[in-house]
Amino acid sequence: MSTTFRSCFVPTGFILGYIAYLLLGALVFSAIERPVEETLKSDLSSLKAEFLNLSCVNATALETFLEKVLQANKYGVSVLENATLPTNWDLASALFFANTMVTTVGYGHSTPLSDEGKAFSIVYALIGVPFTMLVLTACVQRLMHPLTYGPISMCQRRAGLQPRTASVVHFIVLLFLVVLGFFVVPALVFSTIEETWSFLDSFYFCFISLCTIGLGDFVPAEKPGQRLRALYKISVMVYLFVGLMVMFLVLRTFHKLADVHGWTAFFQLPSYEEEDEDREPIIEQEPDDESPEAEKASVKPLDPSSQVSYNSINR
């Protein structure tokens, strides 16, 4: 009885809570951003009026010109006189673009303009996104052992902590290190290299990129006359990829933590699975490795505490 009640109540509760959360966000953003936007708009219209007064240009000609400029600007083509910005599509930039697409960050500072480019992007993304997710998951699974299971078991053995406490302690330490190493330090680096970015701007950029949101209001290496642009772009690419991996790692650690504390069972979510079977190689053949792994794996379905899949709860 309670299971069915929970299985109805929990998703509905989630949806309602979620909609409420979105409404709250909408209200707050509206309240914060609207006045600033109004000021900018009035600034702009007064500047335009001043411009028109001073010159012989009529309004419609200016409008047409501006429209064209804005169209081009949207796609990254600049009309300013001394803008010797190299093309958006040299090899390093195109590589950067491909990387932002397959990691689903998608800044949008440069986008394919041609029809063929768009068609190619569709196919490229459909294949590249699962491919990248696969790679990231594989890497993270490998990293879990030295970075999560190892320290936790060490905590338990050396300090004699309970599994629950050990996992909490480990998670807090991991979180602290990740924030320091992948948010604070890169933010400092970016705010030094990019002259117009404050520390908060850089931190905001790191956060928005590593969550793969990628709004695109801040994009590194876009300044005209940037030195060592190709190298800069490639290092940002590497940073994004490694950072994403680390975020996945943090997520999985959190999932394990939730499992240990029984939260996943409460919310009827898929439980964390330690996938030891992954250790088997696909190229080399090591039949000796098989039997202990296989035995461990064959024991798994009998283990009552590991829920194999979400729907097994209701069956």
Partner 1 sequence: MHGSTLIFILIGVLLYLMMGALVFNALEAPNEESHHDDLQATRKEFLGNYTCVDPEHLSNLIDVVAEAISVGVDPKSNTTFSTSWDLASAFFFCGTIVTTIGYGNISPKTTWGQLFCICYTLVGIPLFGFLLAAAGDHLGTSLRNAIAKVEALLWKWKVSPTIVRVITAVLSILLGCVLFIFVPILVFQRVEEWTWLQSAYFVVITLTTVGFGDYVAGDGDAGKHHWYKPLVWFWVLFGLAYFVSILSMIGNWILVLTKKTKAEATQTDRVLEGGGSDKGKDIVEKEKLHATPKDPVLSQPLYYLGENLAYIDESSDALSGKIHLDPLHLRRDQQKPKTPKTSPNEPENKAPNGDIRPKDPPTPML
Q: How far is the CB of 156 from partner 1 (least distance, A)?
A: 25
Site stretch for partner 1 (CB under 8 A), options 79-87, 155-163, 164-172, 223-231? 79-87
Site stretch for partner 1 (CB under 8 A), options 11-19, 156-164, 167-175, 189-197? 11-19
Question: What does the block give as tokens for 34?
Answer: 């609207």
Q: How far is the CB of 79 from partner 1 (least distance, A)?
A: 5
The C-alpha atoms of residue 131 and residue 302 are separated, in whole angstroms, by 33
**Contacts of residue 108, Cβ cutoff 8 Å, sequence gap at least 6:** 214, 216
Number of residues this chain uses to bind partner 1 (CB under 8 A): 137
16 forms part of the interface with partner 1 (CB under 8 A): no
Q: How far is the CB of 168 from partner 1 (least distance, A)?
A: 17
Report the candidate in 242, 226, 220 with the shortest Cα–Cα distance to residue 96.
220
Q: Which of 186, 214, 220, 243 binds partner 1 (CB under 8 A)?
A: 214
The C-alpha atoms of residue 49 and residue 59 are separated, in whole angstroms, by 9
Report the candidate in 257, 293, 242 with the shortest Cα–Cα distance to residue 152.
257
Q: Where are the alpha helices (DSSP H) in 111-267?
A: 115-144, 150-154, 163-179, 185-193, 199-210, 229-260, 263-266
Considering only residues 139 through 168, tell me which ones interact with partner 1, judged by CB under 8 A: 139, 141-142
Identify which of residues 158 and 284 has a Cβ nearer to partner 1 in the complex: 284
Q: Which of 3, 172, 228, 279 binds partner 1 (CB under 8 A)?
A: 279
Q: Which of 9, 43, 164, 292 binds partner 1 (CB under 8 A)?
A: 43
Identify which of residues 42 and 162 has a Cβ nearer to partner 1 in the complex: 42
Q: Which of 3, 23, 154, 180 binds partner 1 (CB under 8 A)?
A: 23
Q: How far is the CB of 51 from partner 1 (least distance, A)?
A: 5
With contact defined as beta carbons under 8 Å apart, do 170 and 151 qualify? yes
Q: How far is the CB of 241 from partner 1 (least distance, A)?
A: 9
**Contacts of residue 43, Cβ cutoff 8 Å, sequence gap at least 6:** none
Site string for partner 1, 281-310 (x = CB under 8 A): xxxxx-x--xx-xx--xx--x------xxx
197 forms part of the interface with partner 1 (CB under 8 A): no
The C-alpha atoms of residue 51 and residue 198 are separated, in whole angstroms, by 31
DSSP states along 56-109: S--HHHHHHHHHHHHHHHHTT----TT--PPPTTSHHHHHHHHHHHHTT----S
Q: Which of 1, 2, 5, 104 binds partner 1 (CB under 8 A)?
A: 104
Q: Which of 168, 184, 193, 208 binds partner 1 (CB under 8 A)?
A: 208
DSSP states along 160-192: ---HHHHHHHHHHHHHHHHHIIIIIHHHHHHHH
Q: Which of 122, 173, 177, 228 binds partner 1 (CB under 8 A)?
A: 122
Q: How far is the CB of 68 from partner 1 (least distance, A)?
A: 6
